[in-house]
A = this chain, B = another copy of it.
Amino acid sequence: MPDNTRQVYFLSNGTAITAETLGHSLLAQFPTLHFKTRTIPFIDSVEKALAVNREIDQEVDGSNELPIVISTMADLELKEIINQSKALVLDPFADFLPRLEEILDTASAHASSSHRTANPSLYESRINAIDFSLIHDDGAKTRNYDETDIILIGVSRTGKTPSCLYLALQFGLKAANYPITEEDMESELLPAPIRPYTDRLYGLTTDANRLCKIRQERRPNSRYSSLEQCRYELRAVEDMYYRHKIRYLSTTTISVEEIAARIVEDTGLHRMEQTS
A228 interface contact, C-beta 8 A: no
A130 interface contact, C-beta 8 A: yes
Q: With a CB–CB cut-off of 8 A, which chain B residues contact A244? A: none
Question: Are the C-beta atoms of A109 and B29 separated by less than 8 Å?
Answer: yes
Instruction: Tell me the count of chain A residues lying within 8 A, CB to CB, of chain B.
Output: 82
Question: Are the C-beta atoms of B276 and A35 separated by less than 8 Å?
Answer: yes
A190 interface contact, C-beta 8 A: no
Question: Are the C-beta atoms of A262 and B28 separated by less than 8 Å?
Answer: no
Question: Are the C-beta atoms of A275 and B36 separated by less than 8 Å?
Answer: yes
A189 interface contact, C-beta 8 A: no
Among A89-97, A192-200, A233-241, which stretch is in contact with chain B? A89-97
A60 interface contact, C-beta 8 A: no
A257 interface contact, C-beta 8 A: yes
Encode contact with B along A57-100: 1 for CB under 8 Å, 0 otherwise.
00000000010100010100000000000001010110111011
**Contact pick for A97, options B26, B114, B115, B276, CB 8 Å:** B26
A25 interface contact, C-beta 8 A: yes
Shortest distance from the beta carbon of A104 to any chain B beta carbon, whole Å: 6
Q: How far is the CA of A260 from the CA of B169 in the complex (A)?
A: 13
- The 10 closest A-B CB pairs, nearest first, are A115-B255, A28-B113, A15-B261, A29-B108, A37-B274, A116-B255, A18-B25, A21-B21, A130-B162, A90-B96
Q: List 16 A-B contacts (CB under 8 A).
A: A5-B275, A17-B257, A18-B22, A18-B25, A22-B22, A29-B93, A30-B109, A35-B276, A41-B261, A41-B265, A42-B261, A42-B262, A88-B99, A127-B256, A130-B161, A165-B165
